Chain A
Amino acid sequence: MDFTTLLLVLDSTVRLATPLLLACLAGLFSERAGIFDIGLEGKMLMAAFFSAAVAYATGNVWLGLLAGIASSMALSAIHGLASITFRGNQLISGVAINFLAAGVTVVVAQSWFRQGGRTPSLEGASRFNPIELPLAESLSGVPLLGPIYHELVSGHTVPVYAAFAAVPLTWWILFRTRFGLRLRAVGENPESVDTAGVSVIGLRFAAVAIAGLLCGIAGAYLGTALQAGFVKDMTAGRGFIALAALIFSKWRPWHALYATLLFGLLQAIAVRFQNIDLGGFVIPVQFMEALPYILTVVILAGFVGKAIPPRAGGEPYVKER
């Protein structure tokens, strides 16, 4: 593999890792507060559709982004209602949200656009377009670092930079602010927070809302930046892969970045090399397609080590007997 190909693969790694990273951080906020969220997938899907649809209708990708975030947060509200207010099973609520998104997006897409459950193709201002960072063009001649800066660092869309910036921000919020301290406490021992006179319900709803926000950005990125429009089931398991990455990272922000980059790399390789010929034996394309899923299982199975989730995770908080 030559240098240019390597750069291309890494570049597409960054792009493919972005939705995973945003979803993973979304899951991180939610699970650190003690709410399991397997509805990341559905929230992203919902946001992908509504952002693409609104961006198409208005010609403004920013309005699309807002619509995406709003739709994703609406699903978060349902998850909060089910798992915080009514103390329901968080896994079941997540599954319901995934199906709700899968169904609603296609039903509404068909009703609005009549194109078999997709939005029309987006172009121009209704998409997030790549941003050239300063000096990228003029420095591209510099050996090694020039192309890296030009190809890899520069030329991405806003959500990509936002996702990467979200990593230190998440770390700072969790470990340096009062909100972060309380959030982590509520995921470990909600009684400690409750007896200290802080609302468990409020904190958990806040965490779930943040998860909705981040999934909204992730979905908008899928529908308006990574691809030019919404296609049925376009999230393709990314929400679940993000969850695996979350476990792999042991609920830590920087490790989440590394884990999602790893999964992004796998996807990039699978996209780039459809049929790998190993001297007579051809690895079938279906295997490459399944590879990220297989690796998710492998990582869950073995390389995680002892991952201790937040102690109160998945348990609804019951104060009165």
Chain B
Amino acid sequence: MQGGRVTERRATAAPAIELRGISKAFGPVQANKDISIRVMPGTIHGIIGENGAGKSTLMSILYGFYKADAGEIFINGQKTQIPDSQAAIRAGIGMVFQHFKLVQNFTVLENIILGAEDGGLLKPSLAKARKSLIALEKEYGLKVDPDALIEEIGVGKQQRVEILKALYRQAEILILDEPTGVLTPAEADQLFRILARLKAEGKTIILITHKLREIMEITDTVSVMRRGEMTATVKTSQTSPEELAELMVGRKVLLRVDKAPAKPGAEVLLVDDLRVTDEDGVERLKGISLKVRAGEILGVAGVAGNGQSELLEVLGGMRPATGQVSIKGESIDLTGKRSDGQSRRSRGIAHVPEDRQHEGLIMDFAAWENLIFGYHHDPEYQANRLLMDNSDVTQLAARKMERFDVRPPNPRLTAKSFSGGNQQKLVLAREIERNPDLLLVGQPTRGVDIGAIEFIHKQIIALRDAGKAILLVSVELDEIMSLSDRIAVMFDGRIMGERLPSQTDQTELGLLMAGIDPDTD
């Protein structure tokens, strides 16, 4: 009997997991400093902290993915060595990583048995897994087609496969790392229901997140991490979001952005019936129409993968499309030679791309080289007709870094030696300093610490107040709500609807993001 086992274990009162004095350094960076934590069985424990606080590292150590430099791990009161993932699995630990560890062109079943096969031949393993999958589905309501290929099912389903993988390996302790990042609010609710059920069945769950709301909603206890250290562990019922935020950052934070009402001017960007078909022949944008006026921020909300990225890429000149786009009344090319990033820049469009590490910056280039990236043909940067003026560019770069508070302000350092927030400031400095008519911004604060977030938000609002048009794409609903003057919600390559931030709430936007229009239903 499941229930009996739970009460029995609670009675023994040994923590399901106890970490004592865990430390881990990556080269000169100390990711975890002397961390201790106790998680009781049958509870949901949250770990919250900013990006880079060391949450994922800690859990990767618990899962045997990294080796701790110092410290001890106890599972159910027993001291346990976890040198590799195999040992973690044996100890009853399962982990659902932020980026799923699934083989895209394998079936669900093949992914589930991988590494947990019975014997050298596949047939018996597959048959056995199929049976237990049916049992697990009954027990936890985790429904998924065992013969579907991973690449053909949605992210929500893929996450279920990851949970099933852990349960198939008889995990009693389940670690979930930022599980809602890729989910719609509805899907996230569904996940939480599954977690609640797992808890009721006696499983122990550790939830890693940076979203305060999730912690408040589902956890029993919560630990806060800051810069590799554990700053507090409290009962969720005895704390508040404000207190947690302060513990995360180490000082009082304003959760709202100060801004004056927008004073929109003339139309700057006009998009009509924009369509994109990707390399695999899938239509990603299915007729997008929108406009952005001078002096306003249009926020585009949506769950990742619903066409927002493609919209930014088309406008930024990174991929061809069909339809009409005009800037200040003059149309721009969507295919051919005049549709690349440099043509866009010459038309007054600046672009802060979603992925600064692979798009916005060259990580092996020095800061000064990155600060002219995309604008390197500008006559201002040339010494003569043939050669570039590197020393002049370096001096210009130093001044820009000063103005945008990039630390350290040394233009000769390579981009990869800056923190995420400072890297983003480099991109913003480059794009905003060009004084564009239209700024495209994708995920401006992804992987950025809270201090830099405030700075970046201020810069974006300052540009708006200078009378520029801004198109903001973000998967963080809070960010969209606090920055935008108007909000467009995208779902499945279409715009589901437009709302004013003052006249909507997270629930309504969440429904739109899931493809449901509350007004028509």
Give the contacts of B319-335 with A (CB-CB under 8 A).
none
Main SS of the interface on chain A?
helix
Q: B95 near A195 (CB under 8 angstroms)?
A: yes
- Say which residue of A177, A189, A197, A320 sits within 8 Å of B85 (CB atoms): A197
Let me know if B111 is at the binding interface, CB within 8 A. Answer: yes
Produce 1/0 per residue, A182-203, CB < 8 A to B.
1011001101111111100000
Residues A198 and B120 in contact, CB atoms below 8 Å apart = no
Q: Across the interface, do B122 and A181 meet the contact criterion of CB distance under 8 Å?
A: yes
CB pair A196 B85 closer than 8 Å: yes
Chain B: interface secondary structure? Answer: loop
CB distance from A127 to the nearest CB of B (A): 37
Q: B101 contacts which of A178, A182, A195 (Cβ < 8 Å)?
A: A195
Q: Is the CB of B85 within 8 A of A178?
A: no
Tally of contacts, chain A with chain B, CB under 8 A: 79
Contact A197 B104, beta carbon cutoff 8 Å:
no
CB distance from A182 to the nearest CB of B (A): 7
Using Cβ atoms and an 8 Å threshold, which residues of chain A touch B116? 196
Number of chain A residues whose Cβ lies closer than 8 Å to a Cβ of chain B? 24
Contacts of B165 in A (CB 8 A): 196
> When the two chains form the complex, which single residue of A176, A182, A188, A311 contacts B115, counting CB atoms closer than 8 Å?
A182
Report B-chain residues with C-beta under 8 Å of the C-beta of A195. 63, 65, 85, 95, 97, 101
**Once bound together, how far apart are the Cα atoms of A198 and B111, in whole Å?**
13
Query: Separation in Å of the B290 CB from the closest CB of chain A?
Result: 33
- Segment 1-57 of B: residues with Cβ below 8 Å from A: 26
A161 within 8 A of B: no
The contact string, 1 if C-beta is below 8 Å from chain A, for chain B 70-104, is 00000000000000111111000001010101111
- Output the nearest chain B residue to A311 by Cβ-Cβ distance: B104
Tell me which residues across on chain B come within 8 A of A181, comparing CB atoms: 106, 110, 113-114, 117, 122
How far, in whole Å, are A195 and B103 apart by their CA atoms in the complex?
Answer: 12
Cα A224 to Cα B111 in complex, Å, equals 44
Q: B282 to nearest A CB, angstroms?
A: 14
Select A321's contact among B26, B64, B102, B111, beta carbons within 8 Å. Answer: B26
Complex interface residues of chain A between 128 and 185 (CB less than 8 A to chain B):
175-182, 184-185
User: Of B65, B86, B103, B125, which contacts A192 at CB under 8 A?
Assistant: B103
Q: Is the CB of A178 within 8 A of B102?
A: no
B254 neighbours in A (Cβ, 8 Å): none
The smallest beta-carbon distance between B215 and chain A, in angstroms, is 25
Chain B residues near A320: list those with CB within 8 A: 26, 66
**A313 CB → nearest B CB, Å:** 13
| Distance between B173 CB and nearest chain A CB, rounded to angstroms | 15
| In the complex, chain B residues whose CB is within 8 Å of the CB of A196 | 85, 89, 101, 114-116, 165
Looking at the complex, which one of B84, B99, B106 makes contact with A185 (CB distance below 8 Å)? Answer: B106
Type the 1/0 row for A301-321, where 1 means its CB is closer than 8 Å to any CB of B: 000000000010000000111
Bound Cα distance A3, B160 (Å): 61
Given contacts A177-B120, A178-B122, contact A197 B103 (CB under 8 A): no
Could you tell me if A197 and B101 are in contact, using CB atoms closer than 8 angstroms?
no
**Bound CA–CA A193/B125 (angstroms):** 17
11 contacts between A and B (CB under 8 A): A176-B123, A180-B122, A181-B117, A184-B106, A185-B103, A185-B114, A189-B101, A194-B85, A195-B97, A196-B85, A197-B87
**Sorted from nearest, which 9 A-B pairs have the closest CB atoms?**
A196-B115, A197-B86, A197-B85, A192-B101, A178-B117, A195-B101, A191-B101, A188-B103, A198-B115
